[in-house]
Structure 1
Amino acid sequence: MKLLTKTTLYFVTVSLLVFFAGGAGLYKIMQNLVEHEVNADLYNRIHYLYDNISQLNSLENVAFIATEPIDIQKVKKPVSYTYRLKDTVLYNRNVKGYMPYRQLSTIVKSGNNYYRIRIYKSLITSNYLIEKIALIITLMLILFLTLAYFLNRHIFGKVWADFFNTLHIMQSFSLSSPHKEIFQPSEIIEFNQLNRVLTEMTDKIINDYETVKEFTGNLSHEVQTPLAVIKNKTELLFQESLNEKQYELAGSIYSATNRLSGIVRSLGLIARIDKNQFADKTTIDMEALIIRQLENFEALMTSRNIIPETHFNETPKVVMDKDLAETFINNLIKNAVRHNIENGFIRIWLSEKELVIENSGTDPKIPTEELFEQFSRASDKGFMGIGLAIVKKIIKHYHMKINYDYQDNVHRITVGF
């Protein structure tokens, strides 16, 4: 949810709560005021009747001089004389229906007789007035919320303009082309503080990144020579007369040296990708490249009885560096072979928009997105190495998409071109 939407939602919610609470309170106050006025009018009328009883021959004649309905009934002597107020309805011949009235009833003495008098006051005008006022308040609320909404958007745009400018700059920040970000000064102190913190943070990130990149480049370059020496010396040992234990140790050294040499080359490749040193671009024949890489792993797949299947629908037009394309496909297929099982399978689908590689295998035991991290550990295979990390770097370099899924003992990597 966007910031403007969130603040507007809070504003509207609070405004509606205040309106309904205030409206209900105002309606109750108006209702009480109207009821008080109606009651006062009824009491005035009953007192007026008391004052004029002596001038009338009979109390029944009062009904003929009243402007509002009056009901008079002769009753026995009551125990007490009390006033009773209540709301009721009376039938109106003009509208042919029942209308709301306020009723005041009491018992009075006229001569030697007692009479129950009920006088009424129409509530139609009062209710109409309350309804009109409620309608006016509702219309004013709608107008207020509408004006407040557009005013809020206008103020929001002006107040938060510097923040969104900073956000846009940070969204465009990339370590693949690092440069010092320049934030526009703001009239708001907090935004200036934010810009200062972000400037310090990005400068530190760039410096750390450059240091690590330089270290990786130097490491991959400087370590190659001693590794080559170790490898050559180990090969010379194989030519000597070694016992079984010595031969096993020499083999371990040779294997570890080859692995370390491969890691160093991979780190150097990542450093070169980060430095954008693969500027050459050519249209890659992905179908031919996949077939060629499968042939390179044919002996290993045969030894483990892994059956490859290929389904080529359409050849995509992928433009990238030739060497990176070789590394990209090689690492994907090597991953599918290395982390497969005996008597397993590899299935490859190639279409115009995507490349899908499936292989049988065990549960990696970690979230699949972590498999693209360098030297991630998965299942019983130990470290996954750096192959998929290089694949992720190449994917990011060429703005492609990749997804790794695992379900029912099947690993599935999908690359979107």
Structure 2
Amino acid sequence: MRLINKISIWFLCIILVITPVTIFISHSSIKRKIIEFEIKRLASVNNHMADLMQQKQPVDAFLKNREVAIEPYNGTIPAENPRVKRQLEKIEGMSEKEMALFVTSYHTINGRNYKITSHNYFINPNEFFSSMFVTMLWKMLLISAAVFISARFFSKTLFRPFKKTLEAIRHFNVRQKKKLVLERSSIKEFNELNCFIEKMTTRILEEYATAREFSENASHELQTPLAVLRSKNELLTQTELNSQQAALIEQMQIEINKLSNITRSLVLLARLENHEFAIEEDVKFCKVAKNVINTYEYWADLKNIRVTQNIDAKVYIKTNPNLVDILVANLMRNAIRYNEEGGSIHVELTQDYFRISNTGQPIDIPHKDIFRRFKKGNQKNEGVGLGLAIVKQICEVCNFRVSYAYVEGRHIFCVYFNEKYLSEIAAIPSRPGTQLMVFAGAEA
């Protein structure tokens, strides 16, 4: 929900709460004031009548059109003087009851006590409430309409700098190496936000340049001495060596190759984390998958592993072709390396996912750690423990999701391209005996 909509709704909620309270307060105040005024008026009529009687002046002219009753009073004058009585009465010819207000005053006139009572009819103050309610209802409707209309207009002018800032951030690309310059505004808070964003993006560009320079230097500087070591080691193998020396040289060659693989993998991870790969190309995933499978079938044959595939044709995914090749190759190598002699591998590709499963023993590390760096299911294996970490990082860059599960003696890795498809299968209960899937890649 947009900020201006939340502000509008909050403002309307305040109106909805305050308006009934103000209606009640206004109704009570008006009712009290009307009755107080009428009591004072009737009391003044009684007092004036007592004054006329005290001065023995004629009262007929004053009593004209007034409801005043004068009676001798034999008792003592009460402490409550005047006395007020209110009651609802049905008047002939009127559809609704009216409020009758009686004010009785006690006076001593020429040595005798008199009770003077005047009364009047007026509209029941409760009848005002319905009129006030209708008025307030229309007021709330008009205010609500005014708030929503003015908020739309207000947001276009007030939040225009903020929207421009969001648009600039949305199109900011660290690989373009272009500093972000934001438009200044007359609003102080927006200017502070723009200054902070400019400083942060400048720092990101500097750190990105440093990281990229490091990865390039590492790729060049580390591979050069490794190549020299490899060539020197090969020269040693051409000399006369005894069996013990040959075994040591062979072990050195294995470690050199492993170190070279670690270096290349770490450099690749650094490039992935720095988002140095464009993912805007429609890649024919099915073709890449078939080529990688054909490349690794020879290695699978050496371990007597049967490879089956069910790959849909014309599967195009918007990503990077090099990353797709690395992704499929790493999963294929992992399936062969951690397989059993005489085992099997099954590869499946649809428009929604790429799945590869292989036979093998359960891993001896927690499932949540399988995509972490240098974590291997079998520590004695010749792998370096970076293949699945690279798979996870590629999925993050390409906005894929990758999952792992061990079901009925098979390791299953699945890369999902379609978020909607993933949400649909997530709602399906797991079969008994199926271990919990661990998702990596795009945030859940």
Scaled by the length of structure 2, what TM-score is found?
0.66
Q: Pick the aligned partner of 1:363 from 358, 361, 366.
A: 366
Q: Alpha-carbon deviation of 1:163?
A: 1.8
Whole-Å separation in 2 of the counterparts to 1:128 and 1:28: 12
Please identify, of 154-163 and 124-133, the stretch whose mean Cα deviation from structure 2 is larger. Answer: 124-133
Q: For the Cα contact (< 8 Å) 2:230–2:253, is it kept in 1?
A: yes
Q: For the Cα contact (< 8 Å) 1:315–1:350, is it kept in 2?
A: no
Q: Alpha-carbon deviation of 1:272?
A: 7.2
Whole-Å separation in 1 of the counterparts to 2:73 and 2:39: 24
Whole-Å separation in 1 of the counterparts to 2:85 and 2:302: 99
Please identify, of 287-296 and 208-217, the stretch whose mean Cα deviation from structure 2 is larger. Answer: 287-296
| Residue type of the alignment partner of 2:294 | R
Change (3 A) 1:319 1:150: closer
Query: What's the Cα RMSD here?
Result: 5.1
Change (3 A) 1:109 1:79: closer
Whole-Å separation in 2 of the counterparts to 1:207 and 1:163: 25
Q: Pick the aligned partner of 1:401 from 394, 399, 402.
A: 399
Alignment correspondent of 1:262: 261
Structure 1 unaligned segments of length 5 or more: list them: 55-64
Please identify, of 91-100 and 214-223, the stretch whose mean Cα deviation from structure 2 is larger. Answer: 91-100
Change (3 A) 1:179 1:81: closer
Q: Alpha-carbon deviation of 1:290?
A: 6.0
Please identify, of 124-133 and 152-161, the stretch whose mean Cα deviation from structure 2 is larger. Answer: 124-133
Whole-Å separation in 2 of the counterparts to 1:140 and 1:194: 38
Change (3 A) 1:47 1:158: same
Q: Alpha-carbon deviation of 1:33?
A: 0.9
Is 1:240 aligned to residue 238 of structure 2? no
SS at match of 2:179: coil
Whole-Å separation in 2 of the counterparts to 1:280 and 1:314: 18
Alignment correspondent of 1:25: 25
Whole-Å separation in 2 of the counterparts to 1:215 and 1:407: 36
Is 1:216 aligned to residue 215 of structure 2? yes
Pairing of 1:77-226 with structure 2 (within 5 A) = 80=78, 82=80, 84-85=83-84, 87-92=86-91, 94=93, 101-102=100-101, 121-122=120-121, 124=123, 126-226=125-225
Please identify, of 11-20 and 381-390, the stretch whose mean Cα deviation from structure 2 is larger. Answer: 381-390
Q: For the Cα contact (< 8 Å) 1:105–1:116, is it kept in 2?
A: yes
Alignment correspondent of 1:285: 286
Pairing of 1:332-347 with structure 2 (within 5 A) = 332-335=331-334
Alignment correspondent of 1:328: 327
Alignment correspondent of 1:295: 297
Q: For the Cα contact (< 8 Å) 1:101–1:122, is it kept in 2?
A: yes
Q: For the Cα contact (< 8 Å) 2:42–2:119, is it kept in 1?
A: yes
Scaled by the length of structure 1, what TM-score is found?
0.70
Alignment correspondent of 2:422: none
Whole-Å separation in 2 of the counterparts to 1:151 and 1:293: 65
Whole-Å separation in 2 of the counterparts to 1:153 and 1:376: 54
Whole-Å separation in 2 of the counterparts to 1:358 and 1:267: 26
- 1:128-170 superposed Cα distances (whole Å, 9 cap, x missing partner): 3454345334433432343243323323321221122112111
- 1:269-293 superposed Cα distances (whole Å, 9 cap, x missing partner): 5677755599997645346246436
Whole-Å separation in 2 of the counterparts to 1:342 and 1:100: 103
How high is the sequence identity, in percent, across the aligned residues? 22
Change (3 A) 1:350 1:280: closer
- 1:335-384 superposed Cα distances (whole Å, 9 cap, x missing partner): 45667899998664321233234576553335x8xx3x7x3758886998
Q: For the Cα contact (< 8 Å) 1:404–1:411, is it kept in 2?
A: no
- 1:94-139 superposed Cα distances (whole Å, 9 cap, x missing partner): 45775555555789999xxx99998765453543345434533443
Whole-Å separation in 1 of the counterparts to 2:329 and 2:141: 65
Q: Alpha-carbon deviation of 1:300?
A: 8.2
Q: For the Cα contact (< 8 Å) 2:286–2:349, is it kept in 1?
A: no
Structure 2 unaligned segments of length 5 or more: list them: 55-63, 419-444
Q: Alpha-carbon deviation of 1:319?
A: 6.9
Q: For the Cα contact (< 8 Å) 1:293–1:333, is it kept in 2?
A: no
Count of aligned pairs = 398
